């Protein structure tokens, strides 16, 4: 017999997985399952679990950044980019869950997302410095298209638009 608590936990895990799939495919799911995920994240337990994973991902970003700074190779930059994207997406999962449920955002979340987006733009600029303009522009386009739902245009998004405009200028003239 499944207890109510176990049933609720299974439902939350499935809801989180569904929300992650929906967010990774570019769509936002609005409805009871997303609301439940946001409500769960709002609980001290849910937010603590999110924070533990966030800290682990942030540690991974630091390790990958240090590795890249020591060798400055494209391969290490790709690993760094992957870690930064995971960190950014993890933050946006929380943000979008709260927004979809019309819940007040946790303190400091917006500045954290802006900082994470800036780090991704730093990675884009590193690609450009390494001579991989297409990778840098692809990241810039992702920043503009995938992370533009913050309440105001973040500095990283303006940086991304500047990168895209520079490329367009070179192509047109």
* pLDDT for the residue 35: 55
Spatial CA neighbour of 38 closest among 86, 89, 105, 109? 105
Q: Could you tell me if residue 26 is left (phi over 0), alpha (psi between -120 and 50 degrees) or otherwise beta? A: left
Each residue of 123-141: pLDDT tens digit? Answer: 999 999 999 999 999 999 9
Each residue of 79-124: pLDDT tens digit? Answer: 999 999 999 999 998 898 888 888 888 889 999 999 999 999 999 9
3-state secondary structure of 30: coil
Report whether 92 contacts 128 (CB < 8 A). Answer: no
**pLDDT beyond 80 at 17:** no
Average model confidence (pLDDT) for the chain?
A: 78
Q: What is the DSSP letter of 102?
A: T
Longest dimension (CA), the chain: 70
Domain ranges of the chain: 1-106, 111-173
pTM for the model stands at 0.73
């Amino acid at each position: 017999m499944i207890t109510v608590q176990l049933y609720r936990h299974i439902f939350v895990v499935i809801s989180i997985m569904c929300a992650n799939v929906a967010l990774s495919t570019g769509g936002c799911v609005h409805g009871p399952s997303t609301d439940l995920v946001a409500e769960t994240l709002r609980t001290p337990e849910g937010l603590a679990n999110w924070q533990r994973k966030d800290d682990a991902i942030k540690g991974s970003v630091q390790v990958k950044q240090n590795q890249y700074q020591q060798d400055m190779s494209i391969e290490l930059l790709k690993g760094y980019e992957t870690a930064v994207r995971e960190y950014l997406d993890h933050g946006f999962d929380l943000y979008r869950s709260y927004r979809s449920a019309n819940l007040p955002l946790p303190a400091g979340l917006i500045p954290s997302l802006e900082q994470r987006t800036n780090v991704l733009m730093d990675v884009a600029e590193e690609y450009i410095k390494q001579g991989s303009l297409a990778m840098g522009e692809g990241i810039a386009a992702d920043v503009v298209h995938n992370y533009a739902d913050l309440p105001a245009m973040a500095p990283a998004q303006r940086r991304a638009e500047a990168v895209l405009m520079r490329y367009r200028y070179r192509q047109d003239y």
